[in-house]
Structure 1
Amino acid sequence: MHVPEIADLVAMLKVINNPDAGASLMRHLTGPRINLGPRDIAALGRFARSRSESLSADSRSIVKNIVAGNPQSAEADDQFIGSVIDALDEIEKCEKSKFSSVGYERLTSFASDLRRLRSRASAPITDLIVDIERYLNLETEVMLRDGGTHGRRHLDRFMDEAAKFARSGGTLTAFLQWLDVASEEEGGLKAGTPDVDASVVQILTIHMAKGAEWDVVAVPGLAEGTFPGANSSDPDNWITNERHIPFSLRGDKDILPVFSWNAATTNAAAKKAIDAFADQCVDFKMREEIRLGYVAITRARTHLFCSTSFWRDGAKPVAPSVLYEKVQEVASAVGTVISAPIAPASTDRNPAKDIEITAQWPRDPLGDRRADFDRTIALVESAAPINLEGNFDDGLRDFADDARAIIAEFNEYKAGAHSVALPPRLSTSTLIALHENPAELARTIRRPMPRAMDEYSHRGTAFHIWIENHFNAKTLFDDEDFDLLTPFEEDQKLEDLKAKWLASSWAQLQPHAVEVPFETVIAGILVRGRIDAVYKTDAGFEVVDWKTGSKVLGESSAVQLAVYRLAWAKLQRISVDQVTAAFHYVPTNTTDRRANLLSEGQLIDLLSVK
């Protein structure tokens, strides 16, 4: 979550969800998009404080944090300027003279954008993330930074985590709390797996590099205490650190140190046994670090570069680690030692220790490119407008087409409308969703999400297979053949359903066909499905769909029967008028024969809706 694009996403989610997330707001106010200067930030802070004072809200907000038992739940500044987010909603009421003209314009624009994003806070977490991603132009940024092949890997990984959390029923507030815990306890979420890219220099942890190889690999920092690390204060000792699982309960217990009291009968003997085990844990961790070094070194196909430095963060010199010494030994025999400087004396002190590091704030994100950027902007602003509806020569035609496409996409985004094409292949369940709520189906198609099957849906699958076996008709099933839109009611068990179906009149009849798969084309779209059972009647045939719930389905569900009726008529090359259709609700032993089912023409009209 420390990757810039993910940090921006999380900060904006916090701003949308929590009006007290002042620290997260500052990331955006001082970032490259708004780039607010110190004067405007100070003016906004004064306006927020004056607004809070007028509402007598300052003391109450602090007391509320203390009463909640967690006064450090927000950063210290948030308790005093947290209302700055709410103040943005009323930025038009402040004194414009307190701000620079450009700063005030940026703040009013941001306030409008923030209101629009906050209005979508009740949407699914993944949809809100997509809106923020588009607002911040993150996809463009990462594509320019990392290229089209790998640019989105962190965004996609974050979206996967958000989708999994949303499927479990988690809210936006719970999601942000989970991210905070992950950041504090685990250093953030696991980054997306990198791909080997010969066109860039990739900077990776050793764990992330496992399983991959590069022509040239550089392993810096092979200094004593750095790599291998010498953190003896946290040696994975489960006796002294409750964060670690007892070794005997771990899957790799066979290679871990074994603790023994060694028949200790005194406190001194017990302490000696505990200290000995601690030493074993330190030795084991060192061996693990050496193994990790082996992983790093073996990532290189042809060239390996290893380095160390005598001066690091401290004042005293640091000796090379055992890993570096081993690499230097091998390089002296079969490779090249580029530099082997003389080690400083133990009394020498770090020459960089007293160097004062300075930086300019606010930082210009463009740096040395600012002059070229301003020159380009001036050139664009001074250019005469071009009518995109006119005719262009070959040199400008592609640019005009791109400009029209960008403007159209932006207008569509602002309008909040998206034209979503139906897939070339649909299931009957999708047709039901189309009839019931086309807008919701469009959202589902635009951003499909996997749907987990609960125990009731699995039981429904088992019931259909039991029906098949009952009639001794063996067929092959796909998951999409089963209607997952009508899961089981919780009080219906599989054996109860079997008994109730056997007691129905349908059990006494011999079906003409069972579990009939079909594919039929309607309005140029391939519709697939599976008919549960077909019975012969005096007038022709009747198709039946077994329902394992007792709730009577609405008119939209009758689309399923209309498709089944049409498909069977086409399979038998008979008129659709010779086929009737029904739902049979197994728990209540009720057969629902629908009249006025959609005709083929009406189904074509349904699929032709734009």
Structure 2
Amino acid sequence: QPWPDGRAAGVRPSDIAVLCRKRSQFVPLRRAFEARGIPCEVVGLGGLLSVPEVQDIVATLRVLHDAAASDALARLLTGPRWRIGPRDLVALGRRARDLAAGPGEAGPAGAGEASEVPGEEGDALAEALTDLTADTGSLVEALDDLGAPARYSETGHARLARLAAETRRLREHVTRPLADLIAEVERTLSLDIEVAARPGGDLTAARADLDAFIDVAATFAGDQPEPTLGAFLAYLAAAQQEEFGLETGRVGESDTVKLLTVHAAKGLQWPAVFVPGLAAGEKSMVFPARPRVSTRWTDNPRLIPFPLRGDAADLPQLRDLDAAALAAFTEACGVRDLAEERRLAYVAATRAAFWLGCSGYWWGDGTAPLGPSVFLTEVRAACEAGAGTVHGWAAEPAEDTENPLLADVDEADWPATPAGQHYAAVTQAARLVENASRAADAARLAAEVGTPAAVVSPASTGLSEAEQELVAAWELDTGLLLAERERRRRRGDGPVDVLLPARLSVSALVALARDPDELARQVRRPMPRPPARQARRGTAFHLWLEERFGQQRLIGDDDLFAEEEDTDDDLIELRARFEAGEWGGRWPSAVEVPFDTVIGDRQVRGRIDAVFSEPDGGFDVVDWKTGKPPRTKAEKDAVAVQLAAYRLAWATLAGAPLDRVRSAFYYVRHDKTVRPADLLDEAGLIALIQRVPIAE
């Protein structure tokens, strides 16, 4: 059936939000989504820190920054990527103790060596846990200086050496901007490939959590005077400790189910909303939740006594100090706590535009049953009165019933062994690539030695008919690529083909239009650019504009945007010129609008400075410029690509026809608005992107 607002039937993942009372609910819910192939995006920094790929990035950042981050290194070592076993962990722990003790202070030669050698008897798992939890040196320092290879198994030493080399390379990037550093870690850990290989989803949805974390880093760097890696890690640690997190986060545009807390959902709405975990018991409560600390000022010294607060009239009163008065005060505070939880439940319920689903459960992770909370009971009563439908209601378990979730002991391989639908799909793809590579090698060998092709045909590798066709196509492509590489190797000079990355910024599009060769060189070998005073001035001016438009103009308040005493004179002049210019008296309908759109086969990201609504129902997209207007036609055409991308992105975001969206550059210093003619449309931008840049 169609939606009540007239939209066509059908529910997309982005129409659904799952609102949790606690972040601890995220992990099992996200695993359940992944097991069923449902694309899911976690919203909010606190929730992002529970996402496995984000945890891997944070662990790597901690290892790069802090030599004492042995717990973070242990996560990487025992993960499915490196899979370091207990005996090698014991050997690494002993190496850490030796380094901490210093020369001449270690134990006698040969002491304890028996358990260090793989294959010897001993409880290696117990020793590994002891080494990982005891403060006996730095595993990070031991990784950088492994010592004698004989301490480890051959495979373990090889993996540890590779991880050590990888960590040294990453440390060379720690002074780069946070977003760039995280992107480098992501590529090094192959997380971009890992999430892209997830079956049943598109790349945008698969990358949603990684992109959100990079946005968090970029925002942190923009808000802090000294956005160092250490400051960022401290910020993440604070966000992880706080149940509410430090910020609500931005809901992405990807077609995914949004998983977030009720607090983070304030002000938002979705067509369909699920509120899980409306469960409570004598020993544990989910929603309503018990306060983490006492809300009574008589028990919590951090609270101001209620009679001294400005809202004292709305707070419980302690009338005396006898037992009855204290009991009444405690009960009143409990009623107030429940009322606060009820307000939160109201927020959750009203986030649904058309459909609301509520659920609870009897059994959680404790030994005592939970059962329906007062909120779920009230929802059931409303449904039975005709407001909805009760799809299922499990009977209360008997008193002596064991928790079925705890009846069986969970078993797992350690270190972690990859498994599941995702691993099977990636393994199958890897096997096809390996078979194709073998077939290509065999064909090349046959061509070199003159072996008949039938002897080394794909059929001889045991592939199915469909796989043979795929391998044959790959063999043709591989042969052409190898032949081209050999031709260039023999020639010794000439250009090298460089493929554009799958994700581009708008500035990269401008660079592509301006100088494809230079962009190709940057893609092939990224080099840091020296800081430019003009760039810092432009950033400061844009921050001022964002603050200016972000505040409500107060009538008669002449000092609202007064210049600070330490402001650069050039920036003060830019502000004055803008206020006196043609755009100073207009108010935009949107500022600093981030977008992530698909143009052709590339994902393009950017941020629109300002959008103005026109009387005819159209829009005017404006980009503020603090420099000089371009003079040559080639440069004018190149920078016009920026407006073309902004124009197309806003038309997509606003659902407006492209011809109803105008765009312009405003050069503040010259009070000049430039509207390039014949801006590229979507087909033109696709043609631009499909150029093949070549770098020397």
Q: Is the 8 A contact 1:227 1:289 kept in 2?
A: no
What are the residue-to-residue correspondences of 1:315-330 with 2, within 5 Å? 315-330=367-382
Residue aligning to 2:456: none
Aligned-residue offset at 1:203: 3.9
- Paired residue secondary structure (1:106): helix
Match of 2:166 among 105, 110, 113: 113
Residue aligning to 1:457: 567
Q: Distance in 2 between matches of 1:160 and 1:376?
A: 35
Q: Distance in 2 between matches of 1:304 and 1:42?
A: 52
Aligned-residue offset at 1:34: 1.9
Q: Which amino acid aligns with 1:309?
A: Y
Q: Distance in 1 between matches of 2:202 and 2:288?
A: 34
Match of 1:519 among 602, 618, 629: 629
Residue aligning to 1:228: 287
What are the residue-to-residue correspondences of 1:175-574 with 2, within 5 Å? 175-186=232-243, 189-190=246-247, 192-195=249-252, 202-210=258-266, 211-215=268-272, 217=274, 219-224=276-281, 226-231=285-290, 234=293, 236-238=295-297, 240-242=299-301, 257-258=314-315, 260=317, 262=319, 267-268=321-322, 276-300=328-352, 303-334=355-386, 335-346=388-399, 348-350=401-403, 352-367=405-420, 369=423, 372=428, 375-376=431-432, 378-380=434-436, 382-385=438-441, 422=511, 440=529, 450-451=539-540, 455=564, 456-457=566-567, 460-462=570-572, 475-476=581-582, 519-522=629-632, 524-526=634-636
Aligned-residue offset at 1:30: 1.7
- Runs (5+) with no aligned partner, structure 1: 60-74, 413-417, 426-437, 479-515, 529-563, 568-608
Residue aligning to 1:88: 143
Deviations 1:131-183 (A, max 9, x none): 21221223333445564334444434433443454441143223323332332
Residue aligning to 1:39: 87
- Paired residue secondary structure (2:631): strand
Q: Distance in 2 between matches of 1:450 and 1:169?
A: 15
Residue aligning to 1:126: 179
Match of 1:27 among 75, 78, 88: 75
Q: Distance in 2 between matches of 1:256 and 1:141?
A: 56
Q: Is the 8 A contact 1:153 1:192 kept in 2?
A: no
Residues 398/134 of structure 1: CA separation in 2 closer, same or farther (3 Å cut): farther
What are the residue-to-residue correspondences of 1:556-595 with 2, within 5 Å? none
Q: Distance in 1 between matches of 2:71 and 2:578?
A: 62
Residue aligning to 1:510: none
User: Which moves more between the two structures, 324-333 or 9-18?
Assistant: 324-333
TM-score by length of structure 2 reads 0.52
Q: Which amino acid aligns with 1:231?
A: R
Q: Is the 8 A contact 1:20 1:83 kept in 2?
A: yes
- Paired residue secondary structure (1:311): coil
Q: Distance in 2 between matches of 1:402 and 1:258?
A: 78
Deviations 1:95-133 (A, max 9, x none): 2x4444433332222221111111233333333222212
Residues 77/37 of structure 1: CA separation in 2 closer, same or farther (3 Å cut): closer
- Paired residue secondary structure (1:217): strand
Q: Distance in 2 between matches of 1:246 and 1:155?
A: 44
Residues 197/302 of structure 1: CA separation in 2 closer, same or farther (3 Å cut): farther
Residue aligning to 2:548: none
Q: Which amino acid aligns with 1:38?
A: P
Deviations 1:512-562 (A, max 9, x none): xxxx9973414722499xxxxxxxxxxxxxxxxxxxxxxxxxxxxxxxxxx
Residues 104/441 of structure 1: CA separation in 2 closer, same or farther (3 Å cut): same
Q: Is the 8 A contact 1:154 1:191 kept in 2?
A: no
Q: Distance in 2 between matches of 1:397 and 1:446?
A: 48
Q: Which amino acid aligns with 1:2?
A: S
Aligned-residue offset at 1:274: 6.0
- Paired residue secondary structure (1:383): helix
Deviations 1:472-531 (A, max 9, x none): xx65588xxxxxxxxxxxxxxxxxxxxxxxxxxxxxxxxxxxxx9973414722499xxx
Identity across aligned pairs (percent)? 30
Residue aligning to 1:499: none
The answer on 1:77 being equivalent to 2:132 is: yes
Aligned-residue offset at 1:15: 0.8
Residue aligning to 1:158: 213
Q: Is the 8 A contact 1:228 1:290 kept in 2?
A: no
Residues 33/249 of structure 1: CA separation in 2 closer, same or farther (3 Å cut): farther
Q: Distance in 1 between matches of 2:352 and 2:576?
A: 57
Deviations 1:403-434 (A, max 9, x none): 899x976999xxxxx99975879xxxxxxxxx
Aligned-residue offset at 1:344: 3.5
- Paired residue secondary structure (2:418): coil
Matched pairs, number: 447
Residues 256/319 of structure 1: CA separation in 2 closer, same or farther (3 Å cut): farther
Q: Is the 8 A contact 2:278 2:288 kept in 1?
A: no
Q: Give the CA RMSD over aligned residues.
A: 5.3
Residue aligning to 1:149: 204
Residue aligning to 1:102: 155
Q: Distance in 2 between matches of 1:310 and 1:248?
A: 41
Residue aligning to 2:188: 135
Residue aligning to 1:7: 55
Residues 256/351 of structure 1: CA separation in 2 closer, same or farther (3 Å cut): farther
Q: Is the 8 A contact 1:117 1:132 kept in 2?
A: yes
User: Which moves more between the two structures, 396-405 or 125-134?
Assistant: 396-405
